[in-house]
Amino acid sequence: MSRNIRRVKERAFLCGVALLTALAVLPLFHIIMTVTVRGLPEVVSGGLRFLTGTLSEGGIGPAIAGTFLLTFLSALLGLPVAFLVGLYAYEFPNSAVGRWTKTLLQIMLEFPTILVGVFVMQVLVVPMGTYSAIAGTLSLAIILTPYVAVYTHEAMRQIPFTYRETSFSLGLTRTRVLFRVLAPMARRGILTGGLIGLAKVAGETAPLLFTAGGLYESYPHSVTAPVGSISLLIYQLVQSPSPADHRMAWGASLVLLLIFLDIFVPIRLSLREVKL
């Protein structure tokens, strides 16, 4: 008799958990579904013109270019710095700089991104007198760096101590041990961190509000000139009263979603194969 009661309880519990999981995941699927349903018609009807044309042509081409440009430049600026900072925090955890770095990185991870934008505005936009790709890049780099640095640090920390001992026992210098042996061992984790960081900043909006400016009538031609991005464009379009603009916003949202998933999903899938 009690066996049946146990079975019923187990069933009920599993059902409950499944339900809650579904509830938790629901918003994500709802977003994906809504964006696809609302945005697909716009993209399909616009076709190539939507993807490559300027705003007056009814397209978001410059925005896409802007997103890629900003992501690429912030990667160029942020990734090396993040890598080195992560390594430093790993190698010198007990130094003052090391300890502070770890704390600061944690703070910056949660820092309001709009404030980063404000900071860069004061530091670059105001002196330069114009919005620019550089300013946007700097904002995004500031957000990217702590992410990648923390991932790097964690990836390094996961290397078993015995490999560290072995490398030193071969008479290698500290630099060589770090850069020629240990970092390559952690490369999967570091790379993953880098890509995740990039996927994140590709879709950021707030940091670009006061820095990048927006450029949708022509393709980006200079780093000291304003530049647009898909997320920024969506923000702009939503605020306009025109329903045509709103439809375009849905289309742009779909494009952004696709870019994001295209980076993120393969990373997550390949993560399962990470073995040290």
Residues of the shown chain interacting with other proteins in the complex, contacts defined by CB under 8 A: 94, 160, 162-166, 168-173, 176, 180-181, 184-185, 187, 275-276
Kindly state the smallest distance separating residue 175's Cβ from other proteins, in Å: 10
Whichever of 142 and 185 has its CB closer to other proteins, that residue is 185
Kindly state the smallest distance separating residue 157's Cβ from other proteins, in Å: 15
User: Per this entry, what is the length of the chain?
Assistant: 276
Residues whose CB falls within 8 Å of the CB of residue 214, separated by 6 or more in sequence, listed in order: 131, 226, 227, 228, 232, 233, 236
Whichever of 69 and 178 has its CB closer to other proteins, that residue is 178
Kindly state the smallest distance separating residue 184's Cβ from other proteins, in Å: 6
DSSP 203: T
| CA-closest candidate to residue 59, choices 237, 224, 227 | 237
Residues whose CB falls within 8 Å of the CB of residue 169, separated by 6 or more in sequence, listed in order: none
Taking each helix axis from N to C terminus, what angle separates 133-157 and 187-202, rounded to the nearest 10 degrees? Answer: 150
DSSP 182: I
Kindly state the smallest distance separating residue 181's Cβ from other proteins, in Å: 7
Is residue 191 packed enough to be buried (19+ CB in 10 Å), middle (13-18) or exposed (0-12)?
middle
Is residue 228 packed enough to be buried (19+ CB in 10 Å), middle (13-18) or exposed (0-12)?
buried
Whichever of 58 and 98 has its CB closer to other proteins, that residue is 98
Whichever of 1 and 96 has its CB closer to other proteins, that residue is 96
Whichever of 155 and 237 has its CB closer to other proteins, that residue is 155
Kindly state the smallest distance separating residue 274's Cβ from other proteins, in Å: 12
Alpha-carbon dihedral sign for residues 80, 85, 87, 88: positive
The Cα–Cα gap between 47 and 61 comes to 12
CA angle centred on 100, ends 96 and 102, rounded to 5°: 120
Whichever of 172 and 263 has its CB closer to other proteins, that residue is 172
Whichever of 106 and 166 has its CB closer to other proteins, that residue is 166
Kindly state the smallest distance separating residue 167's Cβ from other proteins, in Å: 8
Kindly state the smallest distance separating residue 172's Cβ from other proteins, in Å: 5
